[in-house]
Structure 1
Amino acid sequence: MSSTTTPSVRPRIAVFGSVNMDLVAYVDSAPGRGETVTGTRFSQVPGGKGANQAVAAARAGADTAFLGAVGEDAFGTQLRTNLVECGIEVSGLRTLGGASGTAHIVVEADGANSIIVVPGANGEVTGLREGDQALIEGSAVLLLQLELPMDGVAAAARAGRAAGVPTVLTPAPARDLPGELLEHVDLLVPNQHEAARLTGESDPRTALAALLRTVPEVIVTLGADGSLYGARGGEPVHVPARKTRPVDTTAAGDTFCGAFAVARAEGRPPEECLRFAAAAAAISVQRHGAAPSMPERAEVEELLARD
């Protein structure tokens, strides 16, 4: 399949993950401990690693179902509405008592960011509920992250494996991964820092090889240096990043994962999937915000067509 060919049938992606309201402050340079700085602007936009990946997948060309939780507050209403407006199925989005999740983000002038996540309702998602299994079973790919409790993530991974649905895990925020989770993961997508933490190996290729002893496929994302893909029994494949001038890298990883999942569900070979995902991520980092920065499929195809 050509990188610029839109399939006649849209694949279905399920995302089990977090949804937050992102409270973003833009500064020339982030404050140090005990320091106060003046910001240049502020924005309030929907986010959360799970919701971000769902939006990225929907815009990249998938019918997307989101499974997670919001609170009974105003943020919860806004977050649900945003997902619906993005064309995402929300029958798996539960509403729980209390507050929705929030992320407090500082973005520096060079696009670098630091984030504090307050889980809110996300922290109550410790397993599947009625209907979730059916949403997972009807999907071509299941996307997972680690902003929900580990018990919930592991339950979703087991459901994916039981249904024969390839499961892709982004191990962020970085933490130790239990064997009961990894045994149900088909593809692990850490960035280079997460890969180093998981393996104790600072070299991405060495870390990749170590991770392949626990999961069948791995992508280590390398920021401006692109991505490194490996599968058991095969040689690593490096795909460089596209040259850009980033203004906000907040959503780069989630955009990459969502777009990769769509290309994967369409049956493309790994290197083509990586190039599709890299193009989507390259567009996102040139815009502010998380979900608002994510490109539509036509934009990705237009960028790829220039190659």
Structure 2
Amino acid sequence: MAVSPPRVVVAGSANMDLVGLAARLPLPGETVLGDEFVMTPGGKGANQAIAAVRAGAVCVMLGAIGSDAFGVTIKARLNASGVDTANLRTSYGASGVAVIMVDRAGENSIIVSPGANSSFAGLSAAETSAIAESDVLVCQLEIPVETVLAAAQAARAGGTRVILNAAPARELPPELLAAVDLLVVNEGEARAITGSPEPDVAGLLALVPRVVLTLGGAGSWYADRDGADERIPACAVEVADTTAAGDAFTGALAVAWGEGRDLVDAVRWANAAGAACVRKVGASNALPTRAEIDELYARSN
């Protein structure tokens, strides 16, 4: 008997990514001649929504785009990827834009101008209903934190599990942490939340019941209050661009958890998604399909 795909709702940002590739990243005040330029829809929210669909979910995107040409393109990419945009808002003015520099080792530096993302305030009845009807809510921090809190609390009230990818790094209000079921952070974000000079998983578990600490090329670290504490190695691949790796990971993790996988295995599968993503240049265009994730997962486990 066929199993219904998990329902994931993403409340987050949608940007146009302007990506320049060069031999190395410029130093302050320096100009470096680039190799290539790519313009592609992105933003952590939109990326994670597309990642979830490609990994096998039915996904609803909640957020705001501008009334400019970038907004038209962003929405078209989401629709073409199979993301439900019925509740995606359009705000008069500029869409969010990310200016991304990538070197030949795949490392990047990013500046984000939020644009319409800053206008995503409060939740409508339809948006609240979409959250309550889903298996997993995914949020990040490129939209107002008050909106993230409202979405997380709506999920908690509706029995929907909450994944918070706490990026970009910032301190988080206690009431938001109290509504999070699974926190996904890198080492810098972990330090920002706990105030510790080193990533403090025990300190994070004092705030939320489950934590995934992403470690780049070293893989991931999953821990929870039930005693799980496991380092999960990364899949070995040739790196072209790390820009959307974290979004591929988070989107796939939401799908795996929504499907009922054990969370340690879900993190292994999400590791494969992140690794499959870094093999390509770009953001939303680099996000892997379920077949690509499964192939790398099978080869690496």
Place the TM-score, normalised by the shorter chain, in its bin. over 0.9
User: Shift of residue 7 of structure 1?
Assistant: 6.4
Contact 2:235 2:296 in 1 (8 A): no
Give the structure 1 partner of residue 214 of structure 2.
Answer: 221
Give the structure 2 partner of residue 175 of structure 1.
Answer: 170
Do structure 1's residue 260 and structure 2's residue 253 form an aligned pair? Answer: yes
Give the structure 1 partner of residue 34 of structure 2.
Answer: 39
SS in 1 for 2:264: helix
What root-mean-square deviation, in Å, do the aligned CA atoms of Structure 1 and Structure 2 show? 1.2
Give the structure 2 partner of residue 96 of structure 1.
Answer: 91
**Residues 36-115 of structure 1: pairs in structure 2 closer than 5 A:** 36-115=31-110
State the one-letter code of the partner of 2:232.
V
**Residues 193-212 of structure 1: pairs in structure 2 closer than 5 A:** 193-204=188-199, 207-212=200-205
TM-score calculated relative to the size of structure 2: 0.97
Equivalent-residue separation in structure 1 for 2:273 and 2:117 (angstroms): 27
SS in 2 for 1:40: strand
Give the structure 2 partner of residue 152 of structure 1.
Answer: 147
State the one-letter code of the partner of 2:147.
G
State the one-letter code of the partner of 1:20.
N
TM-score calculated relative to the size of structure 1: 0.95
Give the structure 1 partner of residue 137 of structure 2.
Answer: 142
SS in 2 for 1:123: helix
Of 9, 16, 32, the residue aligned with 2:11 is 16
State the one-letter code of the partner of 1:265.
G
Alignment deviations for residues 267-298 of structure 1 (CA, whole Å, 9 cap, x no partner): 00011101110111111001000111111101
State the one-letter code of the partner of 1:53.
Q
SS in 2 for 1:91: coil
Percent of residue pairs bearing the same amino acid type: 50
Of 269, 284, 297, the residue aligned with 2:290 is 297
Give the structure 1 partner of residue 128 of structure 2.
Answer: 133
Aligned length: 300
SS in 1 for 2:88: strand
SS in 2 for 1:92: coil
User: Shift of residue 202 of structure 1?
Assistant: 4.2
Distance 1:79 1:42, change over 3 A: same
- Unpaired runs of 5+ residues, structure 2, are none
Residue range with higher mean Cα deviation, 193-202 or 226-235: 193-202
User: Shift of residue 137 of structure 1?
Assistant: 0.9
